[in-house]
Amino acid sequence: MDFPALGLGTYKLTDPETCPAAVATALDLGYDHVDTAQGYGNEALVGEGLARADRGADEVLVATKLDTDNLGYGDVTETARASAARLGVDTIDLLYVHWPAAGYDPDETLPALDALVDEGVVDRVGVSNFGPDQLETAIERLDAPLAAHQVEMHPLLPQRELHEYAVEHEHRLVAYSPIVRGRVADVPTIVDVAEKHDATPAQVSLAWLLAKENVTPIPKSATRAHIRENYGALDLELEAEDVAAIDGIDRRHRVVDAPDAPWNQP
């Protein structure tokens, strides 16, 4: 399967009815990618949504992420199988290292990912929230190609260095929090572009990301209206001047942060 242009994020979707309904709705509307994580506590609910949808899970790229407590070799291989069982899939299409936390050791974690690929438990591997040096090490150590790097990315955090790296090394940059949890509606440049195209600010933010090479946004939404609205970004073609105007926004905001995150290290 080619890497889909747009995905559904499921962070904090833990309600036993809302989460499966959102996943099934997204897939039935045409989404080809669903993203979750062991740490979200909703893999089984995402699996229920996959089972409810009119499309088979084999038509969708299903991604999950290893919890920071599960990065030792044995923990990686054991918990990945448990994730597959909860998701109701034979093979996890994409398995990420969620964070390069204290338990992350490239010599332990990455060989385990390779073993899972060799055994058919996982199809593709990725990393998330890595710094450039950690990313380079992962690419060097993995036998399997690095398929994706998932990071926060949006007009207020354009991630230019990591994007250039993704294009150079031919992996996907998967953008979480792509509409800044609604804050794009407060950015005048984005509002102006939205009014110009009779679109919403969320659609403009997503379309800006979609216009970037090798970028896949994964907006989270729990309601059918917002899931449909976000999907409409695929039909919004921004003009070069629109993209340039958004590229020129100098306001910066990071939604997800932590003192030990790679970008906060000296």
pLDDT single digits (tens) 167-225: 999 999 999 999 999 999 999 999 999 999 999 999 999 999 999 999 999 999 999 99
Q: Is 40 annotated in the active site?
A: yes
pLDDT single digits (tens) 13-63: 999 999 999 999 999 999 999 999 999 999 999 999 999 999 888 899 999
The pTM (predicted TM-score) of the whole model is 0.97
* Size (the chain), residues: 266
Judge whether residue 1 has pLDDT over 80.
no
Cα radius of gyration rounded to whole Å, the chain? 18
Catalytic residue among 31, 40, 96, 231: 40
Looking at residue 266, its pLDDT comes to 81
Runs of H (alpha helix) within the chain = 18-29, 43-52, 73-87, 106-119, 132-141, 160-169, 188-196, 201-210, 224-231, 240-247
Q: 194: Cβ–Cβ under 8 A, 6 or more apart, which residues?
A: 200, 201, 203, 204
- Report the C-alpha gap between 116 and 263 in whole angstroms: 29
Judge whether residue 73 has pLDDT over 80.
yes
